[in-house]
């Protein structure tokens, strides 16, 4: 009868075998299905999906110990602008570990943030491409902010400092304009951003006639928090929304897909408030200018008619009373017609201004977006052709007689090969 082993002895043998057979680290590409931190350690669940579907074909657990994660985490955040979270594609360097007590695990030695950043950019461009293919990317730009936009639906977190600043700036504006705001509370960071904002938009849509526009704001925060605003479902909801939407969710250098499809993007919540105040101020200026023109025109016409009446009355003293009454009635009629004509002229001018503004702004923005996209694509193509980048990703290049080796059959025994790595090169002889 063969000698029996205890579980600990068996696991120890397995641990030694794995350590002997797999002593090195491996670079792998995988999607994060779950990520959590505990006591400074990072615990990951990694999956690989079948191409073109969401069906997982491989799963694995991985751990990044605190001593390593404390170095990787800040660098990853600085390069990608986001935290390690579910849904991200990672390039991870791991080594195998089998512990007699805790079993098998992949231990994370390093994470390549450039790989994740490229994947995020690709997903973002895919969302933009799909929105344009659906014909909804510029729908919001076709809506006009009402001239008297005073009833505002606000989507924000109630506790956000930016929301308080927005309301205070509207309420305390120096022109005395009166605005009414209603908060539709939503989560503005984390994984619940998409679902929360869509729920708020649905609530506003049910009361569309009560509002002039929608403002989506948050109180600053890190660039990482903007990842929740780069989703296809949220962008489609905003693009198809019947009211114009103003976004103030980031800083000058950060532009999310949500910003791109909104009617107007401003930097901060206070900038959104300033825009609404300036909108009313421009309307007030038009009204005051129109009042001045009407008053001056009517006054000049009245003076001219008064002089004519006086001249006629002096020539026909006997009919003075009758003529005066007749002309006074005529003046009143002319004044009414003049006021009506001026109001119609003002309405036509305002309409022409709105039409011209609607044609110019989208064309300029569209051209800027096209050029920006073209530059990004050229940069990505140039980066993809850089041999140094492939070496940094762990690939190597082997030379035979001064030329890149492409076919193993072209090498004979005893011939020397040179393998170029990221740091240095290796000489080898074919047996």
Higher pLDDT, 189 or 179: 179
Q: How far apart are CA 123 and CA 137, in angstroms?
A: 16
CA 306 to chain centre: 64
Q: Which token pair is 255?
A: 């532009």
With b for 16 or more beta-carbon neighbours within 10 A and e for fewer, the 83-117 pattern comes to: bbeeebebbbbbbbbbeeeeeebbebbebbbebbe
Q: How far apart are CA 114 and CA 393, in angstroms?
A: 9
pLDDT number for residue 326: 83
Torsion sign over Cα 362, 365, 370, 371: positive
Higher pLDDT, 101 or 147: 147
> Are the C-beta atoms of residues 186 and 197 closer than 8 Å to each other?
yes
The sheet with strand 403-404 has its strands ordered as: 403-404, 397-400, 416-420, 425-429
Q: How far apart are CA 141 and CA 230, in angstroms?
A: 18
Domain at 135-281: CATH code: 3.40.50.2300
- The pLDDT > 70 percentage for the chain reads 94
State the pLDDT confidence band at 247, using cuts at 50, 70 and 90. Answer: very high
Average the pLDDT over each of 75-89, 153-167, 212-226 and give the range with the smallest value. 212-226
pTM of the model: 0.52
Q: How far apart are CA 110 and CA 364, in angstroms?
A: 44
- The pLDDT > 90 percentage for the chain reads 27
As separate numbers, helices (DSSP H) first and strands (DSSP E) second, the chain gives: 10, 14
Mean pLDDT of 128-138: 89
Average pLDDT score over the chain: 85
Please compute, for residue 165, the number of CA atoms within 13 A of its CA located in the half-sphere on the CB side: 14
pLDDT beyond 50 at 224: no
pLDDT beyond 80 at 203: yes
Please compute, for residue 182, the number of CA atoms within 13 A of its CA located in the half-sphere on the CB side: 13
**Domain 7-113 - what CATH class?**
mainly beta
pLDDT number for residue 220: 57
Closest CA to 123 of 88, 77, 83, 84: 88
| Strongest mean pLDDT among 288-302, 315-329, 394-408 | 288-302
| Strongest mean pLDDT among 48-52, 177-181, 337-341 | 177-181
Which residue ranges make up each domain of the chain?
7-113, 135-281, 387-430
3-state DSSP helix/strand/coil % of the chain, to nearest 5: 50, 20, 25
pLDDT number for residue 336: 87
pLDDT beyond 70 at 225: no
pLDDT number for residue 221: 52
pLDDT number for residue 318: 63
Geometric angle at alpha carbon 361, from 356 and 364, rounded to 5°: 125
pLDDT beyond 50 at 222: no
Does 7-113 match 135-281 in CATH topology? no
The residues, any chain, with a CB within 8 Å of residue 136's CB and separated by 6 or more, are: 236, 239, 240, 261
Q: Which token pair is 416?
A: 């020397």
The single-letter DSSP state of residue 226 is G
Q: How far apart are CA 79 and CA 24, in angstroms?
A: 27
Within 10 Å of residue 3's Cβ, how many Cβ atoms? 5
Q: How far apart are CA 188 and CA 229, in angstroms?
A: 9
With b for 16 or more beta-carbon neighbours within 10 A and e for fewer, the 143-163 pattern comes to: beeeeebbebbbbbbeebebb
The residues facing 103 across adjacent strands are 99
């Amino acid at each position: 009868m063969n000698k029996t082993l205890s579980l600990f002895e068996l696991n120890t043998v397995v641990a030694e075998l794995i350590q002997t057979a797999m002593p090195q680290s491996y670079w792998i590409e995988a999607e994060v299905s779950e990520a959590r931190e505990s006591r400074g350690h990072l615990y990951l669940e990694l999956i690989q999906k079948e191409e073109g579907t969401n069906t997982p074909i491989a799963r694995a657990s991985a751990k990044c110990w605190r001593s390593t994660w404390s170095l990787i985490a800040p660098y990853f955040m600085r390069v990608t602008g986001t935290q390690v979270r579910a849904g991200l594609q990672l390039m991870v360097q791991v080594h195998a570990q089998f512990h007699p007590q805790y079993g098998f695990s992949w231990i994370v030695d390093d994470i390549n943030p450039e790989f994740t950043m490229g994947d995020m950019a690709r997903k973002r461009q895919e969302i933009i491409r799909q929105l344009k293919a659906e014909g909804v990317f510029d729908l919001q730009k076709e809506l006009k902010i009402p001239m008297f936009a005073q009833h505002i639906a606000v989507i924000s977190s109630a506790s956000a400092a930016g929301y308080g600043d927005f309301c205070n700036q509207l309420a305390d504006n120096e022109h005395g304009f009166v605005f009414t705001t209603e908060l539709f509370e939503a989560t503005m960071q984390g994984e619940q951003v998409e679902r929360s904002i869509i729920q708020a938009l649905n609530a506003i849509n049910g009361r569309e006639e009560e509002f002039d526009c929608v403002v989506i704001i948050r109180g600053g925060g890190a660039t990482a928090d903007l990842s929740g605003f780069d989703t296809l479902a949220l962008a489609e909801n905003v693009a198809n929304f019947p009211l114009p939407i103003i976004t103030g969710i980031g800083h000058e250098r950060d532009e999310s897909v949500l910003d791109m499809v909104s009617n107007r993007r401003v930097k901060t919540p206070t900038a959104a408030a300033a825009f609404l105040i300036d909108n009313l101020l421009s309307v007030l200026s038009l009204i005051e200018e129109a009042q001045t023109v009407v008053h001056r025109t009517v006054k000049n016409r009245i003076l001219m008619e008064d002089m004519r009446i006086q001249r006629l009355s002096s020539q026909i003293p006997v009919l003075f009373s009758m003529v005066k009454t007749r002309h006074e009635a005529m003046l009143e009629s002319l004044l009414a017609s003049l006021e009506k004509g001026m109001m119609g002229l003002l309405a036509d001018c305002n309409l022409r201004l709105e039409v011209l503004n609607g044609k110019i702004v989208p064309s300029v923005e569209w051209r800027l977006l096209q050029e920006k996209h073209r530059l990004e694509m050229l940069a990505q193509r140039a980066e993809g052709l850089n041999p140094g980048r492939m070496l940094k990703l762990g690939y190597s290049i082997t030379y035979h007689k001064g030329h890149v080796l492409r076919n193993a059959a072209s090498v004979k025994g005893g011939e020397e090969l040179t393998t170029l790595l990221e740091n240095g090169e290796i000489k080898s002889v074919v047996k």
